[in-house]
Amino acid sequence: MKKQNLSQHGNIPVLKNRSIKIGIVVSEWNETITNALKEGALAFLREAGVEKEQIIVHYVPGSFELPFAASMMVDADDMIDAVICLGCIIQGETRHFEFISHAVANGIMRISQDYGIPVIFGVLTCDTLEQAQERAGGKHGNKGMEAAYTCLKMIGLQQKIF
């Protein structure tokens, strides 16, 4: 998988019910990266036929706040079918990176399990800013697009099963 553009996902998932509502929570930390991820996710959703009115976007200060914001979105609107969490955590000189990365990953997974809806992990965990740029529209594609693809795929699976 090294140096492969993973944003070439193939077919757009087909949903039974097109009246979906998707939340997107975006971290403001490493803003140029997270905005690129958001734009990639929005572009993919539009390409898939999701209307602007079906998407709610909120911003949080950093990636650590993503799980709580996702849970607030679901609590505030029980019509939300999925939430995409977008962030970027870059390794520094201390272990802070590890604590934040684990907390965010576990929090996002827990929200998904607790609420029974897809909550998508669209958080870059990179060693350098260059690696983040490569994954936010660079040579490795746009992980925001991949998160949107995953979101629609999981909504489709949920519709199929239920």
The pLDDT value given to residue 13: 66
* Active site (annotated) includes residue 102: no
Q: What is the pTM of this model?
A: 0.91
pLDDT mean over 101-107? 96
Class of 22-161 in CATH: alpha beta
CA angle (30 as vertex; 121, 10 as ends), nearest 5: 40
* pLDDT higher at 66 or 77: 66
Return the half-sphere exposure (C-beta side, CA atoms, 13 A cut-off) of residue 71: 13
Identify the active-site residue in 9, 96, 102, 140.
96
* pLDDT over 70 (residue 15): no
The pLDDT value given to residue 97: 85
* pLDDT over 60 (residue 72): yes
Q: How far apart are the first and last CA of the chain?
A: 33
Domain ranges of the chain: 22-161
